[in-house]
Every structure is written in structure tokens, then in C-alpha cells.
Amino acid sequence: MVFFEVVEGSTRLLVPREDKLSKKNPVFYNPVMELNRDLSVVLCRILEPKSFCDLLAGSGARGVRVAKEAGVEVTLNDMNPRAVELIKKNASLNKVKVSVESMDALALLGGGRFDFIDVDPFGPPVRFVESALQALTGRGFLGVCATDTSALCGSYPRACVRKYDALSLRTDFYSEAGLRILLGFIARSALRNELGVRFLFSHSTMHYMRTYLQVDTRNSAVRETGKKVSFMQYCRKCLDRRYRSLNELEAECSCGGELSTFGPLWNGVYADKELCGMMKETLGSGEFNSKAQSARLIETVSAEQDETTPFFDMHKLCSKLGKPVPKMDSLQRTLESRGFKFRRTHFSDVGFRTDAEAKEVNCILSSL
């Protein structure tokens, strides 16, 4: 293996030089994931967990950074012995004391408890989520990443049923639908263990989806979490979308179109606005290569929490209406002048969120 040095945050990392990124690489390191490693460091600085477990550590980039840049006690684990060698090199390059394990992740989770566990697998995180939830201390934190977005977003609905126990659907807001199915899966895993969850920050970026959450053992939190998991009904004719519980499901949309049902999925907020403010501050005062991009992401995700109905795709709406696409500003002005909310979304540059129903949005767009 040939290595070269990169710097993420204030951490020096030896990483393998590869022509092509693949899970078959002797040790896996993906430079484009730096943004979410920056966010992990930011969150650890704010949340101050006593212990952090980088469960599937690869080169050790995340865990070594959390140890060095947030001063947290870290355990890094990878069942690949070559990864473990590199983790040890990276820890000593940065003069941080960490525990390094080379176990199957599930075995490690069965034997220890941590304040913060990060689950960053190849593909779906499903087989690690429940064990990770069980290995958290009382009000612990969990980070979860999924890269099998085609299953979650509706391209492979049967794969989604198999892995996430949920039906996915190709919609004009497919990335949000996918993220909400992932969050719904995590929430249902927590509920099976009498845990409630609070999603602290979640996003869909490039080829992956990621969330950070806190568990809560109180009965009230468990009850609240249960209320936030439902189904969604979508009309391909007018693009109406709404969350519905099983006993509220309908066959036909008010426009006469047929309704498609998918889920279960998370219908609540997927980030905590107050925490987002703290994340922006911490990010601004630190040394992070993704600073500008992360700050934009945090700001947009924070504003999005004002409306939980999935975003509309302006191009899809206009192509259905056979109308040219208007300027986003003029749509915003018209929606707001009629008392509706308008928010941009991190999921899409041509997307917007509003509390107006599809028929109202269609009517406004027709008049522009």
C-alpha cells in the first residue's frame, strides 16, 4: 500500500493512494466525506460525550480527529487488520492516545457502552443500528450513515423492504423521502428498545445520507417518538403529498388521481434548530476545510425545520402545468403575500418547502 498525507481540520492523516475508490481497497478512505467528519468533530465539541466509538473506522480519520480536535476518549474499531495498522499510525502521528480494536462490530457493541457511537458502513447501516442503540449510555448519541440511497429513494423498492422494512417510492422529493425512511427505521429500532429519539442534525449530500441523534429513556419521549412515525400518500397527478397513519389512508386524491402509499417514515423535524445555531458558531471558530459549505448546509437545514411536509420540485410542478419555470424569488413573494411559508431546501437547488397544499401551489404557479 502506498500512502500520502492529507490534513483534515487540524489532524494529519496518512491515507492510501488509490486510483479508484472501492470497498475492495485494502483500507477505505473517502476524501469527499470530510464534510461529515467536520460535523462529527463540531458535534463532539458541543455535546462533550465522555466516550466515542468509531465503530467502522477504516483509516481512523473520524475517530482520530474526534480524539485530537474535540479531546474525547475514543475507541476505534475495524475488523480489517490493515485498517487497524493504519489507525495506529494515524493516532501516533497526531500523538493521541486511543483504544484500537479489531473485532466484528456487533461483538464490540455486545461488550461495551459508549456515550457516542458512529456507524459508517459500506451501504446500509441496518444490521448495526439496533445493537448500537443498545450499547449507548442513558442519553447517548448515535451517528448513522447510509450510502444505499437507490433503495431508500425508490429506485429499488423491494431492496428497501428487505433492508429497512419499509416501502420506498420514486417521487419528486425522493432524497427527502429516502432520508425520512432511514430516520423512520432508526426510530422504530429505538421504539423496540423502549427508547425515544431526538434527531439533532440530518442531511442528504451527494451519494450518502447521514443523521446524528440522541436517545431518551423517558416514557414521554418514547410516546412522542411513536407519534412521529407514519406513512405518506402521494398523488402523481397533482403532486399532493401528506403524512397519514394507517387508519387515515385513502384510495383517491381530492383531484381524482390515484394515491400511492409508502413508508413507514419519520414525519417530524430532522434537526434541532437551537443546536444548529451552536454548530454554526463552533464551526466558525474552528479550523475546518469544509467551513463555508458546512455553514451553508447547517443554515439551510435549520430553516427547513419550520415545515415538515416534503419539498416541492419547481421543475416537476411546472412541467406538469406546461408552464415556464418562474424565478424562485417571485414564487416566494407570492406564497408569502398569501400567508404561506417559503423555505429553500438543502435537498435540491430547484426545491422549496411550503405549508401551502399542492393545489394551492399549482394555482399560484399557474398565475405567475
Ligand X SMILES: C[S@@+](CC[C@H](N)C(=O)[O-])C[C@H]1O[C@@H](n2cnc3c(N)ncnc32)[C@H](O)[C@@H]1O
Residues that bind ligand X (CB under 6 A): 28-29, 33, 37, 56-59, 61-62, 77-80, 83, 104-105, 120-122
DSSP string, 254-267: TTSPBEEEEEEEE-
Separation of alpha carbons 170 and 149, rounded Å: 12
Whose Cβ is closer to ligand X: residue 128's or residue 234's?
A: 128
Phi, psi of 150 (to 5 degrees): -65, -30
C-beta separation of 205 from 35 below 8 A:
yes
CB of 21 to ligand X, least distance (A): 10
Whose Cβ is closer to ligand X: residue 121's or residue 268's?
A: 121
CB of 14 to ligand X, least distance (A): 12
CB of 259 to ligand X, least distance (A): 38
Whose Cβ is closer to ligand X: residue 9's or residue 264's?
A: 9
Whose Cβ is closer to ligand X: residue 110's or residue 226's?
A: 110
Whose Cβ is closer to ligand X: residue 59's or residue 302's?
A: 59
Pick left, alpha or beta for residue 60 (phi over 0 → left; psi -120 to 50 → alpha; otherwise beta).
left
Coil vs helix vs strand at 324: coil
C-beta separation of 130 from 106 below 8 A:
no
Separation of alpha carbons 208 and 125, rounded Å: 11
CB of 73 to ligand X, least distance (A): 18
- HSE at residue 160, side-chain half, CA atoms within 13 A, is 26
CB of 144 to ligand X, least distance (A): 12
Separation of alpha carbons 265 and 184, rounded Å: 4
CB of 183 to ligand X, least distance (A): 20
Whose Cβ is closer to ligand X: residue 38's or residue 176's?
A: 38
C-beta separation of 282 from 46 below 8 A:
yes
CB of 145 to ligand X, least distance (A): 8
Whose Cβ is closer to ligand X: residue 61's or residue 335's?
A: 61
CB of 20 to ligand X, least distance (A): 15
User: All 3 cell numbers of residue 218?
Assistant: 423517558
- Residues near 278 by beta carbon (within 8 Å), at least 6 away in sequence: 46
Whose Cβ is closer to ligand X: residue 56's or residue 166's?
A: 56
Whose Cβ is closer to ligand X: residue 147's or residue 233's?
A: 147
User: All 3 cell numbers of residue 71?
Assistant: 479531546
H helix runs in the chain, sequence order? 34-47, 61-70, 81-93, 105-111, 126-134, 149-152, 157-164, 174-192, 219-227, 273-284, 291-304, 314-321, 328-337, 358-367
CB of 60 to ligand X, least distance (A): 8
User: All 3 cell numbers of residue 163?
Assistant: 433492508
CB of 79 to ligand X, least distance (A): 4
User: All 3 cell numbers of residue 313?
Assistant: 420540485
Whose Cβ is closer to ligand X: residue 23's or residue 97's?
A: 23
- Cβ-in-10-Å burial (0-12, 13-18, 19+) of 365 comes to buried
C-beta separation of 130 from 193 below 8 A:
yes
